[in-house]
Chains A and B, each alone.
Chain A
């Protein structure tokens, strides 16, 4: 194992050296760094050209300049990084730090969401292979996958931000619009429901009626201006979720697990009012602590209900508690929405098209939380939409493969419930190849959101890379390259190690 890791690390270092040599020279030879001064009619154009030549050390041939750069970069090993300076005179290490933060803000949420949604869709479509749902999801996934992101992003900005903000100014939903959205929701629900045509029709009709009604009520109560869930919705949704989570994690026949879930819903409802004054003073740290406490309470509820499979009860309790707490949190965010909406910096147009935060917005945890949400929602949707396809398709095929394995048939034959077959025997094993893909994707994401960054005006790693290329300035390009390459190589290694840890059949040598 250790020899394997060492061997991989040595190979990685060699790959990095070779690749960096290539990238440096390709960048340095990609154009004329003095281009902007060549045709200049400034009286001091020659002096400026000389200053630039000196700054970029252009009198040294590129391959030799690479070794100078490498000398500085090698200092990173002993903690004295010198990756050179950008054209503006900023040290590349410092610029990288700033760019990395911007990029991570942009891609972290999107990556997690894409994985969660993608894997879930993959599982569902695999279980309903060749159904209308399967075809529908596949169609949509490939549609989004093949759309250019700059186009999706511009459309999202036009309708998701500008259009939605216009709507928020007068949040009335006309009846025909409510009916239209209701019909769409009904059709989707019908397709998702599966089963006989009659069942599909009933589910569809219920969804249609429910969604239409909700929209009409939301319009009448100006819900989009003054949103909130309230204790009632949290309670009803909580009970529903408790049942749902029990079905997935334990099976309804495990009554004690269900009771554990329901108990946490009741506890959540009970603390809803007492917790509000504390939430008014919230800080990020407090929310984290509260989340830990909540899960602990849920797990404790499962523990005390006990039963033949205590672990299942604890799991149901913990997950339910987390979800209920999340709803309370969401409700609290919604309570701050009117204050955010009417804020002088927001001026009634909350959904943003650029940047990561509203400048000079001074607000508490809730306001700044909403602000981050309104800025990140559009880029996140854009990134999720285009990366859904790979996760969905990989999970689907992996799940299908596993479901056709002999041991699944064996499990079924010995009378294991379908829930256990899917959740315990199939799902976990289907995730093994996904782990590899996820690890590799993380490496690619850091440098891969170039277009999204440009459209949403985030000066992250991609922007730095492009800017360096367009000025024929190898230093920032190399900075980004080294970062991305190291992450990619590292996660490649991690992926292989995880694989062997997850799958006992694979052993590293």
Chain B
């Protein structure tokens, strides 16, 4: 009896130990530190902070085109060119070669090098370029959204105008050459193919398979058999292409690493290894990548931190190596106070400006000129920007920013010299005793705009202007743009950095962003010429002339560029400031760990 009880206890204990060891991990508990120590030795890793969280591997669509998605696409893909921090287009000759083969009609030939392949081993072919073209050209779309007819296939965040005016592209039989013939000359042909910083980022063979087609060539052949879409005579939707497009538009959306590896194929320096939804993402070296500079780091970790103070503290605590917080004088002061951290400051492409309406009280050019003479641009810069950037100067060109090479030259001759100093006397002279009433509209929820308005209003009053505060709330001022009801407006624009297509959008008669109804026939003519000029040096000449015309017609004044700031710890090297929205990522392959 006694023995029986003990044996029962032993039995239960043995069963318990068995059960416990069954739910134990495999292997010992001491193997953890050795593996990670080995990882830091090869090339090292760096942690970059981004404001927004990643959510799709296709950053070309209207919904997916956020800064973080584009940056990940940039790091994991490669293309015919990239944009450097001088805002110049640099060709990637190791990836492939492209050149203009004819000016009339404009023909561009793209040739891919051998050995360039996706991370699943499939070669990158001209069919991939064809998909990129089809998606960003809206070539097949025949949707008329007012009449609710037709079909919209691929969603695109970019401007399809240039690529839409082409013939259906030719692909050579070996799939290596892609030839695009434009039906209208297109000035920005050099950056037309490859949406995000020139990368070819969506594998056509994957999209084709998801649409039930055999391979990338089948998708190309399908598109070849279709006519260019025409909203005025909508055709029944092509089901297969619609399926492919639907997959293209939403199939790459994910916040966690998909089990289907074909959704995140790389053809660039890095491949995605791990994703934690809304927290972090890990990129590791693409071992196959030989068609471009070999990156230094083995691993790049991206962490998403929305608030700037949190970014700064993460950098200070060593959890982040590279950050790009929103620039404010607080941010910059805090960053400069951290030891072992380099702070890089520069301009952003966004700039504030004051525009004068070419109707109403400002229809008279003398009144416009008089008003412009009273705008204290230096004071505005001193008040808003100086505390962040002691070397800040007012922006002196309507077309260029100082980061672009032609800026200095254009500024010399564009007539901005007349508005370097406030000249109340001359303004009074021009007004000739008149006291025009000026209503200035701006976003009164933006402190910088309020400051600018206050300084402008104070000075203009000295010259005899009667200033009416037309400031509107955050959600109202945008709607009021171009609707009249004000005479001058202070707001911001973003210089595209590369390309000339943005110039007529703002300054051509009747165009979408021409809110002040500026109209100068000779400038219009120059702009018509500009968007058809395929030679870059000629483009710059034309732009300089347009800049001059705008200043000469007393359009209004550019005020200042926004300040951007990057900061990185001494653990990493090679980080350089970039004004456009690629930010620090523009030269990620040069980053290295110390």
Contacts and interface: CB of A to CB of B under 8 A. Distances in A.
Interface string A366-385: 11000000000000000000
A360 B19 contact: no
Nearest to B320: A354
Most central of A45, A286, A360 by chain B CB within 10 Å: A360
Interface string B10-49: 0000001101110111011110110111011000000100
B66 interface: yes
Interface in A315-365: 336, 339, 342-345, 347, 349, 351-357, 359-365
**Residue from A41, A51, A89, A366 with most neighbouring chain B CB atoms (10 Å):** A41
A436 interface: no
B305 interface: yes
B25 A364 contact: yes
B279 A35 contact: no
B279 A359 contact: yes
B280 interface: yes
Contact of B279 (A54, A87, A88, A357): A357
Contact of B36 (A102, A280, A344, A359): A344
A459 B303 CA distance: 12
Interface residues of B, number: 78
B405 interface: no
B475 interface: yes
Interface stretch (B84-92, B121-129, B259-267, B476-484): B476-484
A54 B29 contact: no
B162 to A, nearest CB: 9
Contacts of A102: 278
Contacts of B313: 154, 157-158, 161-162, 353-354
A354 B319 contact: yes
Contacts of A89: 55-56, 61, 63-64, 250, 253
Interface stretch (B151-159, B210-218, B538-546): B151-159
A342 B39 CA distance: 13
Contact of B20 (A47, A162, A289, A456): A289
B96 interface: no
B107 interface: no
Interface string A24-65: 000000111011001111111111101110110000000000
A112 interface: no
A362 B37 CA distance: 11
Nearest to B253: A89
B450 interface: no
A355 B314 CA distance: 10
B195 to A, nearest CB: 12
A98 B23 contact: no
Interface in B302-330: 303-307, 309-310, 313-314, 316-319
11 contacts: A44-B161, A45-B513, A88-B64, A90-B55, A90-B253, A154-B309, A280-B28, A342-B33, A343-B36, A361-B36, A456-B310
Given A162-B316, A281-B28, 8 more contacts: A87-B63, A89-B250, A98-B277, A161-B317, A162-B317, A344-B40, A362-B32, A455-B309
Interface of A: 30-32, 34-35, 38-48, 50-52, 54-55, 87-90, 98-99, 102, 154, 157-158, 161-162, 165, 278-283, 285-286, 289-290, 293, 336, 339, 342-345, 347, 349, 351-357, 359-367, 454-457, 459, 463, 472
Q: What are the nearest 8 A-B pairs in CB distance?
A: A38-B478, A280-B29, A281-B24, A459-B278, A31-B475, A359-B280, A44-B159, A32-B475
